[in-house]
Structure 1
Amino acid sequence: MTTLNTPELLRRAEPINDKWLQVVGVPLAVLPFVLFYLHEYGYEWRLFVQTFSWGMVSTAITWQVLRWWVMRVRLRYADQTQFRQRLFLTFGGYVLFTVPLQLAETWTVSQLDLTGLIAPPEFPRVYLIHLVMALLFAFVVGALYESMYYVEKNREAILEAEALKKVALQSQYDTLKNQVNPHFLFNSLNSLSSLITEDKKLAGEFLDELASVYRYLLQEADRELTPLRSEVNFIHSYLFLIQKRFGAAISYTVEINDPWPDTLLPPLTLQTLVENAIRYNVILPEKPLWLEIRTTDEGQLQVANPIQRKPLRVTATPIGLGTLTDRFRRLGLPALVISDDGEEFRVTVPLVRR
């Protein structure tokens, strides 16, 4: 009366709790053998008590032996790619342990019979019947354990992938923040320094908008998505500072229609697209750059600007738009749609409904 497999033993995760399976499985494994003895030697209550008691003890011991074996196999072949090696050794161990233990048990039951009802087991019929029942039950429950193990490993892989995804997204977000912080702050402080001597009231307003920009950066640091309303408020502050730097050489319009302000998108999306336009286009009083930010009836956000490419190739790594595209992909969002007809550059951003 033998069985079976082991619970999951992970070195980096909680082991599978198989107590419930043992509580149910051991009596179920014993029952076919008890019924065999009752059918073979008579339906006597003393025979039932003896065979059931003996079966519970022997099966529980055998269960723990096989459990120990499978735990050792899984410690050595824990990876999902080692499925074949693990399966071969696991079920091979079932056979190697089950065959001698079951044959010995079948003989021992007849020798320790206190009822006087059990005759010496007929060879090979009784031995083979017991052996087939034991192996069949071991393999069935073993398959259940292997399924539980696979599900747990798959869950662990998903959690690990999610953790890596969050690390990657945070790294990309930090890159974007660093892109904003050094040069933008330096230019903003230069503009503020000039305004302090020229127009103290405007300097105070400039300082308030600068504080709003960096407050937004701090508040959104741990978010994957942010409301479009918050993003638009941020970009107004950001563009206010940009206009004070470039003056009449840059202008913009922002048109966000209902009900889209409450939709979501990754933070700093608008800043990335605005910065991309500023980096790659000529911005001069005689050739001003205009930016258009608006929502569409289809629930998308569009950022457009005329193409006024700088005559010299920009040497800075174009991490902004590429990183933003990758962020959308990693978050499982619809892709950005980028169009360039030679006269206008337009990026269409999908918005996420709450």
Structure 2
Amino acid sequence: MKPYYETRLRIVGPLVLYAFGTIFFRLNVYFSEDLNMILRYEWIGISAGYICWNLTRWVVLLIQRRNPGLGQTKKRLLWLAAVYPFLVNIGVFIRLVAHSWLSGKLFYWPGLFDYATTTGIQLFYHSIYIAIYEGIYLYRQWQQTNAEKEALLKVQWQGQFESLKNQVNPHFLFNSLNSLSSLISDEPAKAERFVDEMAKVYRYLLRSNEGELTTLKTELGFISSYTHLLKTRYGKGISVTVDVEAVEDTCYLPPLTLQMLVENAVKHNTILNHKPLTIEIKAMPSVHQHVGQLMVRNNLQKRTIRTGSNQVGLSNIAAKYQMLSKQDIVVEDDGQYFTVLLPLLSETQLIKAV
């Protein structure tokens, strides 16, 4: 909540509620009591209103900090329902103590009718307090979620554009067709498979914008076709190994994530038969995520001729993970290996599923 708005609300709110409550609950006091009694009611009502307002505000904000986001709304409401009777009775107690003190009497517990009446009024006030702060919180969370969805859509389209620009370009197409041409006359069977895998690659690239996520199984199937093209072109100069158990097939990640990382490795490293580029894709357990992580690692043998940086691709991947799950990817370069750790997502972890 913005400071200026919060300060104004905390000053004006209790006064407005007190005036509202006076009209509905205490109007008879102004016609049946003397001036001293009226002033006493005014002082007690306003003071108790400020105390209860700020106490309830503190409790609601504490619950929000410990159970943040739209996904934990139900949990927050359960906590609020649990503390609601205590807050109401604190309000009743404050009013009773104040009346006893101003009347010069020891504390007394009221009769059932007086207690029920005071409790009913406090139920009304505390419902308003909670509704104000929880309502504002939900509205702002809804606004933030919409803003994040718009940002995610922008990142998604930018990622698709970069992927298509980097892969469905004349150089990639030329290299693929050149490899195919050399196979047609010498190895027609391999040429036929090459065409099939090439078709799968382009089909996946063109359909990858249909959703924010894809299953790990689908992404690995695409990588299998993509690396087949690379192996056909580079032969023994490139090696791609995948070590992922079948249980991981139910995990999710943004589409084209693995392709961007493999393309990044090919783009920035030398590829020679006697000095092959090795790329490893491996599922790893993680203490931070319930599902685990996916490690994509390649040995470093950087090209002597510098190529354009692929930071845009890595930035897009990082932004997608932030938007979808509030999790970060990990990028490591120890001089021997370039490693990227990707969180594997489950449906319950996704912001958009909350």
TM-based fold match above 0.5: yes
**Which residue does the alignment assign to 1:300?**
293
- The secondary structure found in structure 2 opposite 1:313 is coil
**Which residue does the alignment assign to 1:208?**
196
Structure 2 residue 185 is matched with structure 1 residue 171: no
- The secondary structure found in structure 2 opposite 1:294 is strand
TM-score for both structures, normalised by structure 2: 0.56
CA distance in 2, matches of 1:347, 1:321: 9
CA distance in 2, matches of 1:245, 1:32: 84
**Which residue does the alignment assign to 2:236?**
248
- The secondary structure found in structure 2 opposite 1:176 is helix
**Which residue does the alignment assign to 1:261?**
249
Structure 2 residue 149 is matched with structure 1 residue 162: yes
CA distance in 2, matches of 1:261, 1:329: 22
- The secondary structure found in structure 2 opposite 1:346 is strand
Does the CA-based 8 Å contact 1:172-1:327 persist in structure 2?
Answer: no
> Structure 2 residue aligned with 1:222, among 198, 207, 210?
210
Which of the two has higher C-alpha Rg? 1
CA distance in 1, matches of 2:298, 2:27: 83
Alignment of 1:125-164 (within 5 A): 155-156=142-143, 158-164=145-151
Structure 2 residue 223 is matched with structure 1 residue 235: yes
User: Do the aligned partners of residues 297 and 316 (structure 1) sit closer, same or farther apart at CA in structure 2, a change above 3 Å counting?
Assistant: closer
> Structure 2 residue aligned with 1:286, among 250, 268, 274?
274
TM-score for both structures, normalised by structure 1: 0.56
> Structure 2 residue aligned with 1:335, among 321, 328, 336?
328
Does the CA-based 8 Å contact 2:264-2:310 persist in structure 1?
Answer: no
Which amino acid in structure 1 is aligned with residue 328 of structure 2? Answer: A
Alignment of 1:26-175 (within 5 A): 155-156=142-143, 158-175=145-162
Which is worse superposed, 243-252 or 328-337?
A: 328-337
Which amino acid in structure 2 is aligned with residue 259 of structure 1? Answer: V
**Which residue does the alignment assign to 1:94?**
none
**Unmatched tracts of structure 1, length 5 or more:** 1-27, 41-140
CA distance in 2, matches of 1:281, 1:310: 5
User: Do the aligned partners of residues 189 and 30 (structure 1) sit closer, same or farther apart at CA in structure 2, a change above 3 Å counting?
Assistant: same
Say how many residue pairs are matched: 229
CA distance in 1, matches of 2:230, 2:167: 12
CA distance in 1, matches of 2:219, 2:180: 24
Which amino acid in structure 1 is aligned with residue 268 of structure 2? Answer: Y
- The secondary structure found in structure 1 opposite 2:197 is helix
- The secondary structure found in structure 2 opposite 1:240 is helix
Pairwise CA distance, 1:191? 1.6
CA distance in 2, matches of 1:280, 1:195: 27
> Structure 2 residue aligned with 1:320, among 313, 322, 327?
313
Which amino acid in structure 2 is aligned with residue 312 of structure 1? Answer: I
CA distance in 1, matches of 2:241, 2:275: 17
Which amino acid in structure 1 is aligned with residue 217 of structure 2? Answer: R
- The secondary structure found in structure 2 opposite 1:315 is coil
Structure 2 residue 185 is matched with structure 1 residue 192: no
CA distance in 1, matches of 2:201, 2:138: 45
Pairwise CA distance, 1:152? 5.0
CA distance in 2, matches of 1:167, 1:303: 25
Which amino acid in structure 2 is aligned with residue 169 of structure 1? Answer: Q
- The secondary structure found in structure 2 opposite 1:291 is strand
User: Do the aligned partners of residues 336 and 30 (structure 1) sit closer, same or farther apart at CA in structure 2, a change above 3 Å counting?
Assistant: closer
Does the CA-based 8 Å contact 1:276-1:321 persist in structure 2?
Answer: no
User: Do the aligned partners of residues 220 and 250 (structure 1) sit closer, same or farther apart at CA in structure 2, a change above 3 Å counting?
Assistant: same
Does the CA-based 8 Å contact 2:149-2:323 persist in structure 1?
Answer: no
CA distance in 2, matches of 1:345, 1:146: 47
More helix by share: 2
CA distance in 1, matches of 2:24, 2:330: 65
* RMSD of Structure 2 on Structure 1 (CA): 3.3
Does the CA-based 8 Å contact 2:252-2:345 persist in structure 1?
Answer: yes
Deviations 1:214-265 (A, max 9, x none): 2222333122221111111110000000111111111221111142121111
CA distance in 1, matches of 2:268, 2:297: 13
Which amino acid in structure 2 is aligned with residue 260 of structure 1? Answer: E
